[in-house]
Amino acid sequence: VWGFDGENWVSLNNVNGGAGGAPITPREGAMFFTYYTYKYHSSLDYYTELLTYFIIGGSDGTKVLNDIYTTTDLGGFWTKAEDGSSLSLPKDIKGRAFASAVVCEESLDIRSSQMSWNLLESPVIPTGMRRYTKALTTEPVPFIYMFGGVDENGDLYDEVWRGVITRLTFEPIP
């Protein structure tokens, strides 16, 4: 991953940076978008909102990928989402390259939309991690839309996925 400030290019993928993190493997056609996550401060019982960059999937030249990398410090330190974690994609969403991702703020109540959506089973959030006891349907929620892309054979996906990260329920991204 490289960044450009208008004059200089710099590598942002933790390689030889000494800071640890997850080196992002070479890829093309990955989805890149921004979202907000939260860092919890236990001493204050307070959450800080953090701008978070996401990289999802792409192709390494031999296969399509379905992994997720995140950073909250403009690319200085990347973290790979563990398989099965609340940040990993559901198993129904197959790896893809050259797909698009867009974030749109909308009402959480998807059942009232004009389109009929097929709902996937979502993981049960442990009671101790829940912050809300009922769904908030009036506040806008940043939905992530993923659409298009190709599979390992180059066949085009004709599907749109819509989801939202339950941002105050997963372990905060460092």
Q: What is the chain's alpha carbon radius of gyration, rounded to the nearest angstrom?
A: 17
Q: What DSSP designation does 75 have?
A: T
Secondary structure of residue 54 in the 3-state scheme: strand
- What is the full per-residue pLDDT of the chain (174 aa) written as tens digits? 777 788 888 776 655 544 556 678 889 999 999 998 888 888 988 888 889 999 999 999 999 999 999 888 877 788 888 877 777 788 888 999 999 999 988 876 655 555 565 665 655 544 544 444 445 556 777 888 999 999 999 999 999 988 877 654 444 443
Residue 76 phi, psi (nearest 5): -70, -30
Domain boundaries, the chain: 2-163
| Cβ atoms of 102 and 145 closer than 8 Å | yes
Task: Report the Cα 149 to chain-centroid distance in Å.
Answer: 16
